[in-house]
Chains A and B, each alone.
Chain A
Amino acid sequence: MSDRALAVVRAGALTTVQDRGRPGHAHLGVPRSGALDAPAAALVNRLVGNAPEAAVLETTVNGCSVRPRATVTVAVGGAPCPVTVDGRPAAWGAPVRVPGGALLDIGAARAGVRSYLAVSGGVTVEPVLGSRSTDLLSGLGPPPLTDGTVLPLGRPTGPHACVDAVPHPAPPSELVLRVTLGPRHDWFTDSALTTLAARPYAVSSASNRIGLRTEGPALDRARPGELPSEGMVLGAVQVPPDGRPVVFLADHPTTGGYPVIAVVDPADLPAAAQATPGTPVRFIAVRHRR
């Protein structure tokens, strides 16, 4: 049977379709979206022989189960988790052949938050503005998966990779975020800038694809009020009225009126996507490099 589709048996807490997102539309109010742990998504695509822009599934905390209708090659990466095919243990972080009709289960994350499932040929839901990503802020792209959702798959474009083991960073026991100050650090007191760089924060359970929220000491403002709305970048550390910094992730709003005290180095954001609630967060101020 050559019916290239994937039936969702157990959608899990929050499983979405993600690719590299839809950058270039921020001036229309469209978030960039895309896989939060982009290197993990790129790796599983490589393992199954997909192009880097192929869409994968991003799970949250407790995985998902799917049943391909035709035989496919899959790879699971990102947050380490048990993988089974029809109940039998299968490899994590390596290409796995799943026969048509078999049940592939991606279990709960043993560490980290988000696991990624690539399927040979990629998930080929209809793109919106050039991307198949689910955008949870504005509702663009396919809705989060529900039990019974059937996803179309593309034709495999290349052979899967031949690897014994892939290197993967362990989810962080402490999340270290390098930041450059600004553009609105002058809206905060000197003691707030010291607090940000010196005091411990923790990942809040209110974190999501829009932002990594933190718990910790409030950052005091040197001036009250809101800014006129201004453009926001990925990794912006925005400080809402409660004073607890929020790090903007892929589904962040494109404009905002709360001051941005600093911006996180994009290289540190994949680790932020895998930091479980309660993980200690340390902000380290570095100089602008360009």
Chain B
Amino acid sequence: MRALPVGDRALLIEVDSGQEAEALHAELLHRRATGELTVEELVPAARTVLLDGLDAPSRLAERLASWEVPPVPPRTEDVVEIPVRYDGPDLGDVAAHWGVDEAEVARIHAAAQFRVAFCGFAPGFGYLTGLPREVPRRATPRTAVPAGSVALAGPYTGVYPRSSPGGWQLIGTTDLVLWDPARVPAALLTPGTRVRFTPVAAP
């Protein structure tokens, strides 16, 4: 675990794996809930957790060295189920990359258990880990990816909460609303949320 100073009020804590980042994030949330830690933003990412809005980052960095960070226990809470029509325009390219047919891509994706590793790119966009295979981004990004597109890139799965440019491989579509600022909570997917994709037939 390395604590890197970020300006005068933040720390970027770097660990070796996504699992360690998840465990550290859970521990930081716990310590914030108990009042031991005061911080404005806790932003988990692929291999790091950013703590922004700290009064004394260097003191916290010293204390961190002695922390025992337990592994995250398996969660028993509800899993968010996202119904998907596996009808994306890149299904064939992903199938070719994996050396399987298109139906098998859908089967592999729907069989995996996902977790929101972190959010970013757009409000409500979660980077989901759990797919047993990887796939490269598209060589040329699309200027407009429709809202609800279920997509793959690198080790991640994501769902575009609104129409935006994007370079991920599109394998399906969901009608679920991932992000609605008028709803509480606004984001269906927050860091740590468990997710499954359930196949539905095209209308």
Contact = CB atoms under 8 A, between A and B. Distances in A.
Tell me if chain B binds chain A.
yes
Interface of A: 23-30, 128-129, 138-140, 180, 182-184, 228-233, 235-236, 253-256, 260, 263-266, 288-290
Interface in B2-23: 4-10, 12
Contacts of A236: 6-7
B5 A230 contact: no
A30 B124 CA distance: 8
Given A129-B181, A182-B5, A183-B5, A30 B123 contact: yes
Given A27-B190, A230-B50, A180 B5 contact: yes
Interface stretch (B75-83, B87-95, B99-107, B114-122): B114-122
B4 A183 contact: yes
A78 to B, nearest CB: 24
Contacts of B8: 180, 263, 265, 288-290
A265 B9 CA distance: 10
Given A27-B119, A128-B181, A253-B121, A231 B50 contact: yes
B5 A255 contact: no
B6 A29 contact: no
A214 to B, nearest CB: 18
Given A253-B120, A263-B10, A289-B8, 19 more contacts: A23-B40, A23-B53, A26-B43, A27-B118, A28-B187, A29-B125, A30-B123, A139-B162, A140-B181, A180-B5, A182-B4, A183-B12, A230-B45, A231-B49, A233-B50, A255-B45, A266-B9, A288-B58, A290-B8
A290 B56 contact: yes
Interface of B: 4-10, 12, 40-50, 52-53, 55-58, 118-125, 127, 162, 181-182, 186-187, 190-191
In this complex, the member of A26, A29, A184 whose beta carbon has the largest number of chain B beta carbons within 10 angstroms is A29
Nearest 9 CB-CB pairs, A to B? A231-B50, A255-B120, A228-B46, A231-B43, A263-B7, A183-B4, A29-B119, A26-B41, A230-B45
Given A27-B43, A129-B186, A229 B5 contact: no
A260 B6 contact: yes
B6 A24 contact: no
A233 B6 contact: yes
A92 B91 CA distance: 60
B196 to A, nearest CB: 21
In this complex, the member of A30, A255, A264 whose beta carbon has the largest number of chain B beta carbons within 10 angstroms is A255
B7 A254 contact: no
A34 B189 CA distance: 25
Contacts of A235: 7
Nearest to B125: A29
28 contacts: A23-B41, A25-B123, A27-B43, A27-B44, A27-B119, A28-B187, A28-B190, A29-B122, A29-B125, A29-B187, A180-B7, A183-B12, A228-B46, A229-B120, A230-B45, A230-B47, A231-B50, A231-B52, A253-B121, A255-B119, A260-B6, A263-B10, A264-B7, A288-B5, A288-B8, A290-B8, A290-B55, A290-B56
Contacts of B53: 23
A230 to B, nearest CB: 4
A263 B5 CA distance: 10
B38 to A, nearest CB: 13
A228 B47 contact: yes
Contacts of B45: 228-231, 255
Contacts of A228: 45-48
